[in-house]
Structure 1
Amino acid sequence: MKKLSPTIRDVAAAAGVSVATVSKYMNGAQRFSAPVEARLKAAIEELGYRSNPLARSMITGRSRTIGLTILDISNPHFTSVVKGANRVALRHDYTLLLVDTDENQARERPLIEALAQRVDGLIVSSRIPDDEAQWLLDLGKPLVLLRRSEALPIPSVGIDNRLATYMLARHLLNLGHRHIAYLGFGQARINDERIRGARECLEEAGLTLDVYDAHAPTARAGQDACSRMMLGPRRPQAVICYNDLIALGFMKEAMSLGIKVPHELSVTGVDNVPYGEYAAPALTTVDIQSEKMGELAMQKLIDALAGHAEAGHSVFEPRLIVRESTAARG
C-alpha cells in the first residue's frame, strides 16, 4: 500500500499549532516565538513535509520565480549574466526561469509575454527598439532591462559602450596603428555607441574609422567577414570587433589567410569571455563585468518586488585587458 504524503494538518497536529500557523510559517508571512518555530521546524523535518509550490503561489500571489530572457545562451557573455543573476536569486529564495530568444527579434515578444504569466518579475535582454517596446509596460510585472532605455521608465544595467571602444582605439593608436577598422553588428542597439567611441578617438588624432558589419554576433560571422576586409582595397592594420566571438572568428580566419596576428594585424574584442584568454594568441579585449551585471540586475528586480523600485540606469565601467593579439606596428 502506497504511503500517503504528510499534509499540513499532520504538521499542525505534531507541532500543537493551528493549520493557519503552519501556513504562515511556511510562506514566511509571519514570525513566531522561538519555541513555536522550533516545534514547527522539528515537525516538518520529522514528517518530511514539503509544501506545494502551486498551492502556495495561489495563496500568496507569488511564485518565487523570476524570468530572465537572453539573446543567445551559447554566447559566454550571457552565460555569465545568468550565473550572476542566479547567484543572487538563490540567496533570496527565488528560482530562475530562463528563456533564450536565439537572436530572433520576431520571437521576443511572444516569448516574453508567455514568460511574464509564470513569474513574479522579469530581467530582459532585447533588441526591440524603444518605440516598439511600450508593450513591456503593460505586462504588469516588475522589470529590469539589460541595456539602457531613454524612452522606457524601467530600471536597467549596462556598460559605457562608447568608452569601451574609445579605450580600444586609444590602445591601438598608442601601438602605432593608423588604419583601424571596426567590425560591428548593426542589429544591436549598442552598436552605434561602440562606433561612436572608436570614431571619436580616431578623429582626435585626425584619422577616420572604416566601419564594416557582421551578419551575426558570432565567431562564424567574424570568420565570414575576414576575407572581405583583409583582401579588399583598404586592408586595416588593426580591427576592433563588436564582441569577443566575432574577434575570435576573425582572428582564426586571418591566420588561415596567412596573416600573422599580431605582427601584421592587431585584433581586439569586447566582453572578456572566459576562453578569450586561452586563444592563440590570447585576445585583447574589454572586460564588461558580465557576472556582476547579472547580479546587479537581479538585485534591482528583487528590490522592486519588495516595493523599492528605482528607475535609474546603473553603469559598469569597462576595463581594458591587454593580451597577445595586439602589438606595436612594425
Structure 2
Amino acid sequence: MKKASPTIRDVAAAAGVSVATVSKYMNGTQRFTAPVEARLKTAIELLGYRANPMARSMITGETRTIGLAVLDIRNPHFTNIVKGANRIALQHGYTLLLVDTEESQDRERILIEELARRVDGMIVSSRMPEESVQWILDLQKPVVLFGRNKHFPIPSVGTDSYLAACMLTRHLLNQGHRRFAYLGFGPSRWNDERIRGTQTCLAEQGLSATVYETHAPSPQGGERACSAILLGPQRPEAVICYNDLIALGFIKEARALGFSLPQDVSVTGFDNVSYGEYASPALTTVDLQSERMGELAMLKLIDALAGKNDTEYSLLEPRLVVRDSTMRRPNAPNSGDMPEGAATSTRKATRR
C-alpha cells in the first residue's frame, strides 16, 4: 500500500507548533524566532512535506504564478527576456508561466485571456496597437507591458530604439558610408522609432536611407529581402536591419549571391543575440539589454502585486557592439568623426 503523503498537520505536530504557524512559515508571510524556524525546517525536511499550491490558491486567492507572453520564443531576444524575468520571479517565490503567441495577432488575445485565468499578474509583449489594450485591463490582473503606452497608464519597460538607431547610423557614417538602406518590420512598435533615429541622423549629413520592408522578423525575412536590395540600381553601402535575425539571414543570402561582406556592404542589426558573435562575419549590433528588460518588468509586476501604483515607463540605455560585419570605406575621411553616443559602451571584436 502506498504511504500517505505528509500533511501540514503532521508538520505542526512534529515541530510542536500550530497549523497556522506552519502555513505562515511556508507562505513567507511571517517570521518566527530562530529556534521555531529551525524546528519547522527540520520537520519539513524529515517528513518530505510539500505544500499543495492548489489548496493554497483556494485559501488565499493567489497562485504565486506570473504569466509572461512573448512574441516568438525562438528569437533569442525573447529567450533572454524570459531568463531575466524568471530569475527575479524565483527570488520572490513566484513561478513563471510562459505563452508564446508565435507572432500571430489572431491567436494573441485568446492566449492572453486564457493565461490571465491562471496567474496573479502578467508581463506582455504584443504587436497590438497602443489604443487597443483596454481588453487587457478588463481582465482585472496587474500587467506590465514592453514598450510605452501613451493611451493608458500601464507600467512598462523598453529600450531607447531611437537612440540605438542613431548609434548604428553614426558608427556607419564615421566609417565613410553614404548610401544607406533600412530593412524594417512594420508591425513592430519599435520599427518607426528605429527608422526615425536612422533618418534623423542621416539628415544631419544631408543624406537619407531607402526603407524596405520584410515579411517577418526572422532570418527567412532577411534572406527574402536581400536580392531586391543588393541587386537593385542603387546598391547601398550599409544596411541597417530591424533586428539581428533579419541581419543574419541577409548576410547569408548576400554571400550566396556572391557579395563579400563587409567589403561590398556593411550590415548591422539590433538585439545583440548570442550567436551574432559567431556569424561570418560577426555581426555589428546594438545590445538592448534584453535580460535586464525581463528583470525590470518582473520587478515592476511584483511591485504592482504588492499594491504599489507605479505607471512609469522605464527606459534602458542601448549599447553599441562593433564587430566584423561593418568596415571603414576605402575612401572614407580620417577626420571629422561624429560622436557615436556618450552613453554607450562600444566593444570591438578581434578582427579575424
Shorter-chain TM-score: what band? over 0.9
What residue is the counterpart of 1:87 in the other structure?
87
What residue is the counterpart of 1:200 in the other structure?
200
What residue is the counterpart of 1:139 in the other structure?
139
Q: 8 Å contact 1:300–1:309 — kept in the other structure?
A: no
Matched residue type, 1:127: R
Matched residue type, 1:228: A
What residue is the counterpart of 1:272 in the other structure?
272
- Give the distance between the partners of 2:221 and 2:312, measured in 1 at CA: 34
What residue is the counterpart of 2:169 in the other structure?
169
- Give the distance between the partners of 2:21 and 2:207, measured in 1 at CA: 73
CA displacement at 1:28 relative to structure 2: 2.3
Pair 1:262 & 2:249 matched: no
CA displacement at 1:25 relative to structure 2: 2.2
CA displacement at 1:66 relative to structure 2: 0.6
Task: Name the SS for the 1:211 alignment partner.
Answer: strand
Moved more, 176-185 or 147-156: 147-156
- Give the distance between the partners of 2:31 and 2:284, measured in 1 at CA: 53
Pair 1:69 & 2:69 matched: yes
What residue is the counterpart of 1:307 in the other structure?
307
What residue is the counterpart of 1:109 in the other structure?
109
- Give the distance between the partners of 1:24 and 1:173, measured in 2 at CA: 61
CA displacement at 1:24 relative to structure 2: 2.3
- Give the distance between the partners of 1:157 and 1:301, measured in 2 at CA: 11
Matched residue type, 2:75: N
Q: Deviations over 1:233-253 (max 9, x none)?
A: 221111000000000100111
CA displacement at 1:35 relative to structure 2: 2.6
What residue is the counterpart of 1:326 in the other structure?
326
- Give the distance between the partners of 1:40 and 1:318, measured in 2 at CA: 47
Matched residue type, 1:49: Y
Q: Deviations over 1:241-282 (max 9, x none)?
A: 000000010011111111111111000001000011111111
Task: Name the SS for the 2:138 alignment partner.
Answer: helix
CA displacement at 1:148 relative to structure 2: 1.3
In the alignment of these two chains, the number of paired residues is 330
Matched residue type, 2:46: E
What residue is the counterpart of 2:297 in the other structure?
297
The residue correspondences of 1:120-269 to structure 2 (distance < 5 A) are 120-269=120-269
What residue is the counterpart of 1:45 in the other structure?
45
Matched residue type, 1:310: D
Matched residue type, 1:85: A
- Give the distance between the partners of 1:271 and 1:253, measured in 2 at CA: 20
CA displacement at 1:309 relative to structure 2: 3.1
Matched residue type, 1:66: I
Q: Deviations over 1:78-133 (max 9, x none)?
A: 01110111111111111110000000011111111110111111010000001211
Matched residue type, 2:237: Q
CA displacement at 1:59 relative to structure 2: 1.1
CA displacement at 1:33 relative to structure 2: 2.9
Task: Name the SS for the 1:280 alignment partner.
Answer: coil
What residue is the counterpart of 2:56 in the other structure?
56
CA displacement at 1:175 relative to structure 2: 1.0
- Give the distance between the partners of 1:166 and 1:35, measured in 2 at CA: 59
- Give the distance between the partners of 1:60 and 1:324, measured in 2 at CA: 55
- Give the distance between the partners of 1:326 and 1:29, measured in 2 at CA: 55
What residue is the counterpart of 2:15 in the other structure?
15
Query: Normalized against structure 2, the TM-score is what?
Result: 0.91
